[in-house]
Copies of this chain bind each other. A is one copy, B any other.
Amino acid sequence: MVESMPGGITAAAGFEAAGVACGIKASGLDLALIVATPPARAAGIFTTNLAVAAPVVVTREHLRRSKGTAAAIVVNSGCANACTGEQGLRAAHTMATDTAHLVGCSEDQVLVSSTGVIGEQLDGAKLTQGITQAAGALGRDGHQAAAEAIMTTDPWAKEAAVRATTPAGVFHVGGMAKGAGMIEPNMATMLAFLTTDAAVEPVPLQRALADAAADTFNAITVDGETSTNDMVLLLAGSRSGVHIDDTGYPAFVDALQAVCRELALAIVKGGEGATKLIAITVTGARSIAEARQTARAIANSPLVKTAVHGGDPNWGRLVAVAGRAGVEFDLAHARVRVGEVELFGDEQIFADREPAAAEHLSGTEVEIGVDVGTGGTGSATVWTCDLSAEYVHINADYRT
């Protein structure tokens, strides 16, 4: 049984957090620290962007050198430390050494992360001061401040946590994330940090994170952009006394996925200018990969996103995107539904049902289904938000 609970990133035993303001952003909290006592098993997934930011380089290296062990995660907002060359790498290393010194661990047991403006150097003095301040403020009650400190233009802080009751015992998974909000206004960076008090060995921990992310963090899109700084980190302590073996693995992934899903959907709901959450389910594809490719093409289509924004059951746009998605598509057997209302199928057009579909689109949570007609069993769901004029205003006019 998986139940929601409060507590965010410190819901699991053995983790403390803090969020402080150190002046990297003009105002507000901008530095988060998460500490695991004792050091935890660690797993991470990272941006596929080749213009990779310094903190991503350093955190990958630390995970490798520490063989997947971490005592702390330190995160700043307001500056992405991306496109910053050697100086940026030095700054990312300094974040880690400063933290290691205060927490009492080796540098490679500190994972670092940044989000904010691309192409500006981090201010080392501010960082050092912020890390010192955060180390003094650590507590189980620091989860909300930490979640606030990683925000950029996110409309709200994003936290989630669950209590999992399994045959092997009770454990917890918690987390926090920041979403696709522009940063003064350079990138849509997705960061998520997760903790658990279930004991998991490094190999299954990494696999569980990848499995949980596939249908959550990797199944959302706001505008199709992949940032230089995207990062999801998972720390596993052992305070629950529950050891995750092969038998317990599915229950662990379930709990982890519940937290990831809540955070991922919160990122979409808080997407820039978003007014609706759109779930796009593609069926009838030759494989899950092909279903995902079509669902992602639909989710990133400006024509689909604007039609949903306007409440227009414009199924022709869905067919047109599915036809250009780059995978097999059979118009003669394709079907399109909006909510539960089928608008097109077997080359029949059900124009009289459009008012019912428009009614569904008037809500804040929208479901779209496209069967690509190849008769395959591949299916996938991708979540996105609508495209509003507000998105344009945020991204065009932010600095003017």
Contacts and interface: CB of A to CB of B under 8 A. Distances in A.
Contacts of A395: 302-303, 306-307, 310
Contact of A302 (B119, B224, B344): B224
Interface in A140-194: 182, 185-188
A273 to B, nearest CB: 9
Given A225-B320, A320-B225, A320-B227, A349 B302 contact: no
A330 to B, nearest CB: 8
A120 B120 CA distance: 53
Interface stretch (A48-56, A93-101, A124-132): A48-56
Contact of A314 (B185, B314, B320): B185
B48 A324 contact: yes
Contact of A117 (B83, B182, B316, B387): B316
A30 interface: no
B324 A49 contact: yes
A187 B316 contact: yes
Nearest to A301: B225
Given A317-B187, A392-B306, A323 B52 contact: yes
User: How many copies of this chain does the complex contain?
Assistant: 2
Interface string A380-399: 00000001110111011111
A397 B329 contact: no
Question: What DSSP secondary structure best describes chain A's contact surface?
Answer: loop
Nearest to A327: B50
A226 interface: yes
Contacts of A389: 389, 392-393, 396
A244 to B, nearest CB: 34
B187 A310 contact: no
Interface in A305-324: 306-307, 309-312, 314-317, 319-324
A50 B332 CA distance: 11
A324 B388 contact: no
A27 interface: no
Given A51-B320, A316-B119, A310 B396 contact: yes
A18 B117 CA distance: 55
Nearest to A85: B347
Interface string A64-97: 0000000000000000101111100000000000
A208 interface: no
A228 interface: yes
28 contacts: A50-B328, A50-B330, A51-B319, A51-B323, A51-B329, A51-B334, A82-B319, A83-B316, A85-B348, A117-B316, A118-B317, A119-B319, A120-B351, A186-B316, A225-B303, A225-B320, A302-B387, A303-B395, A306-B392, A306-B395, A310-B395, A310-B399, A310-B400, A311-B400, A312-B399, A389-B392, A389-B396, A392-B392
Interface of A: 48-52, 80, 82-86, 117-120, 182, 185-188, 223-228, 300-303, 306-307, 309-312, 314-317, 319-324, 328-331, 334, 344, 347-349, 351, 387-389, 391-393, 395-400
10 smallest CB-CB distances across A and B, nearest first, come from A118-B316, A51-B323, A310-B396, A85-B347, A306-B395, A389-B389, A49-B323, A50-B329, A226-B324, A50-B323
